[in-house]
Structure formats: C-alpha cells, structure tokens
Amino acid sequence: MTGEFTRWGGHVLQLFGAHPEQWGYFKVIGLEGSPLDRIDGMMVIGMFGGCFAAALWANNVKLRMPQHRIRIFQAVLGGMIAGFGARLAMGCNLAAFFTGIPQFSLHAWFFALATAVGSYFGARFTLLPMFRIPVKLQKVSAASPLTQKPAQAKRRFRLGMIIFLAVILWGGLTAMNAPKLGLAMLFGVGFGLLIERAQICFTSAFRDLWITGRTHMAKAIIIGMAVSAIGIFSYVQMGAATKNYVGRTKCGTGWTAVWFRYCTGWRL
C-alpha cells in the first residue's frame, strides 16, 4: 500500500513540473500510467471504498480531534518515520511482513525481527513522563448510555450500501476487460471491510506484547500467514515461476548482495 502511496506522491510532484520518474527509486517500482492502470492502485481504491462503507454501516464516521494538540504533532512525526522506514524496507507491514513471510522472502524475516525490536524500544520510549498527557477525571454518578440518532444511522447505512455496491460494480465491470485490475479492486474491498471492522493493525500486534501483554492480534496474524504460506507453497509445487530480486547494500569497502525469493508477481 505504501508503495502505491509513494507513486501517488510522485504523480503530485509531476503536476508541479518535477520528474520523479527519473529517480532511482521510481525506476525500480515504476511510475507508469495512473492508479487506475495499476494493480496496486485499484486495490488501494477498493480498500478505501470497503473501509468507508463499513464505517458508514456502523455509524462510526466522525471527524475527531485529540484533546491535546501534542497528539497531532506526535502523529505527524510518527507517520513520517513510518513512511521513511517503509521506503527503506521497500514495503510496508503488508508487503514486507504479512505477505513477505508466506512468500518465503528472506528480507521479510529481517523486517519482522527489526519491527519487534523497534516496537519494544518505541513502547518504552513513549511511556516516558515527557510524552504522557495529563488526564482530567470527572466524577459521575452512573454510566452514560450510548445513544445515536436513528435517522442519521439509516442515512449513513444507505450511503454505505451505495458506496459498497458502486465499488463492487466498478470492480466487476473492470474485471471483464482487465481481470487482474478488477480482481485487485474486489480483493481491496474485502480487505478494507476486514481491517475496518476488526481494527487490524500489524504493528499493534507487536506493541501489545510489550504494553498490555495481549496476543490476540499476534496469533491471528500468525495463523493468517500460515494459511497463506500453505497456499503459496501449493502454487510453487504446481509449477508457478519464482522471481528473484537482488538487493545490494554497501558494507565497509565491499558490497554485500542479498537475494530475495518471491514466488508471485508482487514487487518488493
């Protein structure tokens, strides 16, 4: 996903007269066409549609601002660090971890180990007193019941159905002429529905281990990767061609090459 977001950023730079397509990074991941012409682009669009539809169905759409403005700064800074790290890893938590390990990629294991170590120190760092936000306690006599406006909930549910049917129809029609693009959008819709309702976050699986000790998300991710690995291995046994990628990193005075093995068409 972050690879496609990077391409979107490249398109924005092109609008201002820049030529990011000449940069070494974009020569590797490609910047041809538009998001509608790329598998990753259609999948991300479908994911947004699925997430938005699921949130509308649950009447859980609202612009929320944190009580303390420092949270905005922390979110922006954390997002910049995460984006920078995803580009160094040539993939986000999805491509460089969740789908990388089932595809028997060596770099995904390094990514997972580094994420575990980084999330541990990050959790300890953010728990320092300088990052703690003062909490204002209010005395109450009884629990406040959850309320919602029935008319608003019905409108949002209908809007969610319209968006859901629209992206499903879009993906189905696209699949008639370009099967890969259409299926990518449909899979994106399904993924969007899942991550919105289940609140799936790969990094939270590591974070929860160090802060709360909860392992539900970590177990779910491990089971998902195990099932995916069995499916990918079956494709390899059936004769699916593998792809080898070489990553070079300068170490001292020499160059060390690391081979990444992939058995599908996913890019790093």
Is 85 inside any structural domain? yes
Alpha carbon distances (Å) from 176 to 39, 45, 246:
15, 18, 35
For residue 128, give both structure tokens: 């320092």
How far apart are alpha carbons 86 and 79 in whole angstroms?
10
The total number of structural domains in the chain stands at 1
What is the pLDDT, as a whole number, of residue 67? Answer: 79
Is 49 inside any structural domain? yes
Is 244 inside any structural domain? yes
Is 166 inside any structural domain? no
* Average pLDDT by stretches of 10, the chain with 268 residues: 86 91 85 89 94 92 82 87 83 80 86 90 83 77 76 92 96 94 94 87 84 87 91 85 55 36 38
**Count of beta carbons in the 10 Å neighbourhood of residue 203:** 16
Element (H, E) at 8: helix 2-15
Which of these, 98, 53, 111, lies nearest to 229 by C-alpha position? 98
Domain range for 185: 2-131+175-262
Is 150 inside any structural domain? no
Is 145 inside any structural domain? no
What is the pLDDT, as a whole number, of residue 93? Answer: 79
What is the pLDDT, as a whole number, of residue 245? Answer: 56
Is 35 inside any structural domain? yes
Is 165 inside any structural domain? no
What is the pLDDT, as a whole number, of residue 97? Answer: 84
What is the pLDDT, as a whole number, of residue 265? Answer: 40
Helix (H, G, I), strand (E, B) or coil at 246: strand
